[in-house]
């Protein structure tokens, strides 16, 4: 089993990603770090405990991370995820409030990665915790087995400005520091691929038929996200970005892309934009793998089979034969 630390800001799609990761037999989630992003960090911690409780995994340590970006003012995405980060579903109201670990998320990374390990990091939120860890220990990236980041965009338009994706826009200085200094190839799961992952009302109904308990839970979680996407872009359903980062981590064949040098703009109207130097104008050494293609059907087969405790073969037949999507 591949050991992994998940850095997140739950968030509706982070919560889906956490449930998926916690239920996936291929990975061992050894810790969860929380960062401010979709919601203030304290709300994010509460939502992490809710996900852990849902999966009977309250044994996994939770580390409190940054409560604000490195330089810019903090702007949450509660318009997208609801004031509680869970689509105002109230799902976390009965959460068991356990204490977080005494160490900060940044110090946890700095110590965990003070020597070579076989531990990977999947970052589903702004990169503030990782940047702070790099400041404490510039070698953290050298000692992790893989680093997958949901963020950025190459040819796709942004989702919070014409050119910027939220995670990198929220803390552009952290994103820039991580791209410039991590020394571990950054596997960038950006909007080019995540925009294709649309969880539709049809798929939700399918989940309710196959696994009523999980299906009804998902219905409560995603309704706000459905409404947001309809109002914002007349999309029926919602784009669930973060579970793709986990799925790609487990099944790299789900996405294709290219390696290149990536930098992040920190200022002005292009704040948070990813500059993907595909044709090597800058002659800089590659620091990233930018994923641009995704096998959407295969993603949903993997994701739903884990979430719904159903054989992948059954899901595959239903989705492809009956064209549920
Ligand atoms: C990213 O921003 C957040 O709103 C989501 O959780 C995801 O990580 C998509 O831009
Ligand atoms: Ca997120």
Question: Could you tell me the pTM of the whole model?
Answer: 0.97
End-to-end CA gap in the chain: 31
pLDDT (tens digit per residue) in 100-139: 999 999 999 999 999 999 999 999 999 999 999 999 999 9
| Strand 119-123 relative to strand 274-277, pairing | unpaired
pLDDT tens track for 139-184: 999 999 999 999 999 999 999 999 999 999 999 999 999 999 999 9
pLDDT, greater one: 98 or 80? 80
Mutation probe of ligand 1 site: the residue of 48, 125, 188 with most atoms within 8 A of C-beta: 125
Per DSSP, 289 falls in state E
Q: Pocket around ligand 1: residues whose beta carbon is below 6 Å from it?
A: 11, 13-14, 38, 77, 80, 124-125, 150, 159, 165-167, 241-242
DSSP state of 149: E
Report the nearest-CA residue for atom 10 of ligand 1: 166
Determine the residue of 16, 17, 37, 228 to mutate for testing ligand 1's pocket, defined as the one with the most ligand atoms within 8 A of the Cβ atom. Answer: 37
Residue 10 CA: which ligand 1 atom is closest? 6
The pLDDT assigned to 323 comes to 74
- Site to probe by mutation for ligand 1, drawn from 11, 48, 154 as the one with most ligand atoms within 8 Å of Cβ, is 11
How many angstroms does the Cα of residue 71 sit away from the middle of ligand 1? Answer: 20
pLDDT in tens, 37-62: 999 999 999 999 999 999 999 999 99
Q: Are 37 and 126 in contact (CB under 8 A)?
A: yes
Residues 8, 44: contact at Cβ < 8 Å? yes
Residues 6+ apart with CB under 8 A from 163: 153, 157, 270, 272, 273
Query: What SS3 class is residue 122?
Result: strand
- pLDDT mean across residues, the chain: 96
pLDDT confidence tier of residue 94, bands split at 50, 70 and 90 = confident
CA 14 – ligand 2 centroid, Å: 5
């Amino acid at each position: 089993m591949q050991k992994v630390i998940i850095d997140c800001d739950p968030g509706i799609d982070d919560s889906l990603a956490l449930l998926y990761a916690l239920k996936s037999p291929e990975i061992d989630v050894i810790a969860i770090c929380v960062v401010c992003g979709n919601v203030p960090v304290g709300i994010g911690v509460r939502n992490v405990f809710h996900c852990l409780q849902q999966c009977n995994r309250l044994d996994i340590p939770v580390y409190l991370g940054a409560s604000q970006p490195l330089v810019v003012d903090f702007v949450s995405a509660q318009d997208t995820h609801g004031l509680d980060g869970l689509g105002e579903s109230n799902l976390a109201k009965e959460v068991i409030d356990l204490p977080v670990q005494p160490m900060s998320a940044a110090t946890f990374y700095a110590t965990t990665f003070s020597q070579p390990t076989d531990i990977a990091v999947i970052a589903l939120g702004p990169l503030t915790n990782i940047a702070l860890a790099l400041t404490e220990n510039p070698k953290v990236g050298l000692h992790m087995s893989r680093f997958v980041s949901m963020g950025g965009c190459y040819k796709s338009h942004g989702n919070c400005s014409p050119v910027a994706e939220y995670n990198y826009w929220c803390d552009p200085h952290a994103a820039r520091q991580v791209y410039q200094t991590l020394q571990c190839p950054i596997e960038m799961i950006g909007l080019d691929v995540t925009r294709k992952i649309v969880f539709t009302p049809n798929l939700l109904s399918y989940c309710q038929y196959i696994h009523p308990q999980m299906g009804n839970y998902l219905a409560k979680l995603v309704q706000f996200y459905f409404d947001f996407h309809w109002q914002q872009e007349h999309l029926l359903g919602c784009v669930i970005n973060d579970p793709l980062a986990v799925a790609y981590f487990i099944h790299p064949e789900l996405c294709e892309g290219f390696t290149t040098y990536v930098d992040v703009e920190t200022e002005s109207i292009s704040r948070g934009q990813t500059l993907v130097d595909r044709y090597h104008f800058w002659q800089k050494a590659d620091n990233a793998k930018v994923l641009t293609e995704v096998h959407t059907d295969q993603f949903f087969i993997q994701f739903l089979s884990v979430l719904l405790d159903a054989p992948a073969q059954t899901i595959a037949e239903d989705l492809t034969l009956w064209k549920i999507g």
